[in-house]
Structures are given as structure tokens and as C-alpha cells.
Amino acid sequence: MVTASAAGKAILFGEHAVVYGEPALAIAIDARVSVSLEPCKGDWKIDGYPLDTSRHPHIAYLKNAILGDDSQNYSIQINSELFPAAGLGSSAALSSACSAAMLSTIGQPLDPEKISALSHLAEAAAQAGRASPTDTSTATLGGCVFVSDKKEQSSEWRYTRSLETPEGERNWEVHSVTLPPSVNDLWLVVGYTGIHSPTGDMVAGLAELLAKHPEKMTDISRMGELARNGVDALSNGDFTMVGQLMDEAHQLLAGVGVSCKELDDMVEVARRSSLGAKMTGAGGGGCMLALTTNPEETSAALEMRGGRVLVTPFGAPSVRIENS
């Protein structure tokens, strides 16, 4: 049996905009998805049930891409510490861990670039061809990841990702960001609305809005600027600025229709005890994120509002094999 795990993620800046080539900044969070692969007799199984391609499109894609049609059959066990379909990158972490476990079963080494490429293609296959490499790169590389349309001086360049999307070819440069030690005084409090919201639907909804209202592309560009300013502020330890940029990012995301009342309420409540707060990920439900030095107070306020809470430091380890 091989078990691999990968981290969930929270997007600090640039969700949605990154699908259109704008930069995004994401943090690996302290909650992981693990995937165990064990050879089995009979059909492929996921958590004891036959593999259903429509329920597990990522796994179906990776099975064909990595192992091929005539491979040995496996039984897959998935364990997740993440709220599901909540914008915390659970499908990216699943894809990354699953790629690592499948590659390991065929004797291949843990190669983050290969794992993130395979997981990105699995996400794109499941999201009607529209997926940035943000979630899958963060799940795979861990730490803090900056995805941009160009190679950035400010952070360590890792690789280029390209994808043919319905809106044309997109290219992204993926970087790891080294954070200052002062980041250890800060916490991210993730608040879950309890509302499931499939990423593919939210991304497709925004694509429709932008096709009808091309003038909204200026908001998308501004989200990209915020991401760039956010990396600088974070790297310089200017967390007050990071918080202000988060507040503005939320306003823009709400303006293009990807927030919802529950997210807006939780963001509002969290702001009273934090440096800044915004929705994170695809939106329409899912999660919000607050940057705070006082995680107890922020968590309590969100729980009072009916949210489920996860507190995480900045960054978590990369994809890894847990045992083999």
C-alpha cells in the first residue's frame, strides 16, 4: 500500500482573476488530504465503492494519464481534513496526493513539477478546461505560492504551466515566496459557510458575466494588481497593508457576483478583530479568510455567526509520501 498526502490551500489574492492570466497568491494550509492506494482484485474502488467517473473525474483522469488502461486495479482510500467543496482546494490536494501515490506505485520518484502538472490537467479536465495552476501548485509545493503571467524577481521561480482554455491559451509562471519570520505572529482564520459550491460552476458563471459585460475585465485586472501589491506587502512584513488589500479584494469579488450574503456577513464580523478579511477560492458559499493576530477572538466571532472554523499558520509542507 502507498499513502501520499497534500495540503489544502487558501487564496489570499487573485482567485478567479488568475483564470484570466492575472497573478494570484495562495498559502498551503494546515489541513491535508491523504490518498492510499492498494492493489485489489475486481474493479477499481474508491472508499469501498466502484469508481464512478462522474463523481471522481480527477481520479479517473489521473488513472488513465499515469497508469493507462491495462494497469493493475487498485482500491483507493481518501481521508480529508478539509471542508469539502468549500474553496479550500480539496480536489487539488486530492489530485496532487493521488498523482504522488500513483507515480510511487510505478516506481517513479516524488517529482513536484510532474505532480503539479498532472494535477493541473486533472483539475482542468474536471472544470470544463478552465483551471489555473494555483490550487494544484500550492497543494504540491506547500508554503506560499505566487502564480503570475511573468517571471517575478521577488520570488523563487519554479516552473511554467500552459493550458488551452475555451478563452484561448493561458500561460502561468509559478513561484515560491519566502515569508519573513514575523509572519509567525499571524494566523489565518478560515470560516466555512457550510454552503457547497462547485468551483467549475462559479468559474463558468463568471465567464458568462464577463462575456456579457466585458467592461468588468477592469475589476479582474485590479484583482491582479492587488495580488502583486499583496506579495510585496507580505514579503516586507507590512501586514496592515495586506489586510487592507484583502478588504478591497473582497469588494471586487462581490462586485463580479462570486460572493454571497453568508460570506459577506462573515467577512464583516471577522473584520472587527482582524487586519482584513475576504472570501477565498471560488465563492458562492465555501469559505472566507481573515488575517489576524487574535485567532481566538476571530474564531469565536465566526462561530457565533454559525460558521465552522479552521485556524492555520502561513504555509504547510509540500506533497509527501507518508508510507510505501
Binding site for ligand MEV (CB under 6 A): 11, 15-16, 18-19, 87, 89, 131-132, 134-135, 199, 203, 281-282
Residue with Cβ nearer ligand MEV (15 or 262): 15
Distance CA 275, CA 292 (A): 6
Residue with Cβ nearer ligand MEV (37 or 188): 188
Contact in structure between 28 and 8 (CB atoms under 8 Å): yes
Distance of CA 10 to the CA centre of its chain: 6
Rounded least distance, CB 253 to ligand MEV, Å: 10
The three cell numbers locating residue 131:
483551471
Q: Are strands 49-50 and 45-46 parallel, antiparallel or unpaired?
A: antiparallel
Rounded least distance, CB 131 to ligand MEV, Å: 4
Residue with Cβ nearer ligand MEV (105 or 134): 134
Among 249, 225, 224, which residue's Cα sits nearest to residue 134?
224
15: left (phi over 0), alpha (psi -120 to 50) or beta: beta
The three cell numbers locating residue 189:
482564520
Residue with Cβ nearer ligand MEV (15 or 30): 15
Among 179, 132, 169, 175, which residue's Cα sits nearest to residue 150?
175
Residue with Cβ nearer ligand MEV (131 or 267): 131
Residue with Cβ nearer ligand MEV (120 or 271): 120
* CA-based radius of gyration for the chain: 19
Distance CA 239, CA 291 (A): 8
The three cell numbers locating residue 184:
509567525
The three cell numbers locating residue 174:
509559478
